[in-house]
């Protein structure tokens, strides 16, 4: 069944454009309260990133849940993985995050966590959508939900993150640059790494409501690279706006994406006998990661794109490690969703265990050239079903042969189509990606 409001990571869009409006979000809270929290006596925790519109949507959700008889605990700016953890820690019936993750400030969204701290399955989202399209009645006045502020949430999450790092290890002697994207990690990530002993240099820690992800963070790693090089730091770590993604930079300015992070953690855990199965990637994971893991005799499977699908595959397999090249990495022995801070700490654990630099840890990982082009197309044009586009995809695949891939997919978080081409020769990969993107643009305009 086609979802009407939910994408791959909650409900998301431009603020003021339906459905990212206060009236819809209030009704969304009411519907979720009826479906998930089961009404009176239930409790929901709500966190948000640093977008200016978060205040508005926090109030709207509080109203909607109260109308459903559900009490809310307001945590203020907190990373998405913190809400996953705290939903379990507070024994809440539901966790809610107001965030559009890596998107610009003028976007926002709502995503939910179950009482187990996991993303909601498709069938539950469909049930909420069904409730949204039906008549929702306000509960009796004596049964309305209350609202509370929880001021110690940041400290609880800082201690949780530190608990994922071996007590016998220390970051003392390391200079680390942290880029918090002017987002939700701005007040917690520096504390985690300082309290573990590192000298911390920060960028992207001065949110003003509109500068989230603006030239900083995991989607703009050039700022981190420049700071690492200029400050002669040992490494750099960049999070996205809501803290569930991470990118890292070594002391020479080499960028390590989610695939590299996943590789480092997997190899270290295998070496120590703690891998617990294989590794889950996605359709976007670089073929080089798959080949490198195969060389290490580590099983690798691909899920659909989206950390929720990585999670589903991990649970099906009974494995504990998976992620996306965008920087979502799930370490199921610690967290039940992507957590940028925890993932970075696992990489640093690997470096300390082996007494190696980041560059040395990925020396055996040979990434294939990959070109990704995001296309914003007119409403109504379906690139994936267009016959001319299909023919062009087949032609590009024939040129690449067995040592390359083509992937077209609609984004679940933005109104774009992603064109990915992967192969052995960088110039050829670039030219073929541009060729395919041009064909899609032309068909969209002519159609």
Query: What is the spatial distance between Cα 370 and Cα 393, in angstroms, rounded to a whole number?
Result: 16
Query: What is the spatial distance between Cα 202 and Cα 184, in angstroms, rounded to a whole number?
Result: 14
Q: Which two tokens stand for residue 339?
A: 């957590």
109: β partners:
12
Q: Quick check: 237 and 177 in contact, CB under 8 A?
A: yes
Residues in the chain: 447
Query: What is the spatial distance between Cα 365 and Cα 376, in angstroms, rounded to a whole number?
Result: 33
- SS3 state at 40: coil
Burial class of residue 104, CB neighbours in 10 A (0-12, 13-18, 19+)? middle
Query: What is the spatial distance between Cα 126 and Cα 116, in angstroms, rounded to a whole number?
Result: 19
- 36-51 residues labelled b (16+ CB within 10 A) or e (exposed): bbeebebbbbbbbbbb
Q: Which of 101, 114, 326, 343 is flagged as catalytic?
A: 101
Is 101 labeled as catalytic in the residue annotation?
A: yes
Catalytic residues: 101
């Amino acid at each position: 069944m086609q979802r009407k409001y939910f994408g791959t990571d909650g409900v998301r869009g431009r603020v003021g454009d339906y459905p990212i409006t206060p009236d819809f979000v209030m009704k969304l809270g009411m519907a979720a309260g009826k479906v998930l929290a089961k009404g009176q006596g239930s409790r929901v925790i709500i966190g948000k990133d640093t977008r200016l519109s978060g205040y508005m949507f926090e109030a709207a959700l509080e109203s909607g849940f109260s109308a459903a008889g559900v009490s809310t605990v307001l945590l203020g700016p907190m990373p998405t993985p913190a809400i996953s953890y705290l939903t379990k820690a507070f024994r809440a019936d539901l966790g809610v995050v107001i965030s559009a993750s890596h998107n610009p400030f003028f976007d926002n969204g709502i995503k939910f966590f179950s009482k187990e701290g996991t993303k909601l399955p498709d069938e539950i989202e469909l049930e909420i959508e069904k409730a949204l399209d039906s008549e929702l009645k306000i509960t009796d006045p004596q049964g309305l939900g209350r609202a509370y502020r929880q001021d110690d949430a940041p400290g609880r999450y800082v201690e949780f993150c530190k608990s994922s790092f071996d007590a016998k290890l220390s970051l003392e002697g390391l200079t680390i640059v942290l880029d918090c994207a002017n987002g939700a990690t701005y007040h917690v990530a520096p504390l985690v790494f300082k309290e573990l002993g590192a000298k911390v240099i920060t960028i992207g820690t001065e949110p003003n409501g509109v500068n989230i992800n603006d030239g900083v963070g995991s989607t703009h790693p050039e700022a981190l690279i420049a700071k690492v090089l200029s400050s002669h730091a040992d490494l750099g770590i960049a999070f996205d706006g809501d803290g569930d993604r991470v990118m890292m930079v070594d002391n020479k300015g080499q960028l390590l994406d989610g695939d590299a992070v996943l590789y480092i953690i997997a190899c270290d855990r295998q070496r120590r006998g703690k891998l617990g199965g294989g590794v889950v990637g996605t359709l976007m994971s670089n073929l080089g990661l798959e080949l490198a893991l195969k060389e290490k005799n580590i099983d690798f499977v691909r899920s659909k794109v989206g950390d929720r699908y990585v999670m589903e595959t991990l649970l099906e397999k009974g494995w504990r490690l998976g992620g996306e090249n965008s920087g979502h990495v799930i370490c199921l022995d610690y967290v039940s969703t992507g957590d940028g801070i925890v993932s970075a700490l696992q990489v640093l654990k690997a470096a300390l265990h082996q007494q190696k630099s980041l560059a040395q840890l990925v020396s055996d990982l040979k990434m294939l050239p990959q070109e990704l082009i995001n296309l914003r197309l007119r409403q109504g044009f379906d690139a994936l079903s267009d016959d001319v586009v299909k023919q062009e995809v087949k032609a590009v695949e024939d040129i690449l042969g067995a040592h390359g891939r083509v992937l077209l997919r609609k984004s679940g978080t933005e109104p774009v189509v992603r064109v990915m081409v992967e192969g052995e020769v960088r110039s050829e990969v670039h030219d073929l990606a541009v060729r395919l993107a041009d064909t899609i643009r032309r068909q969209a305009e002519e159609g």
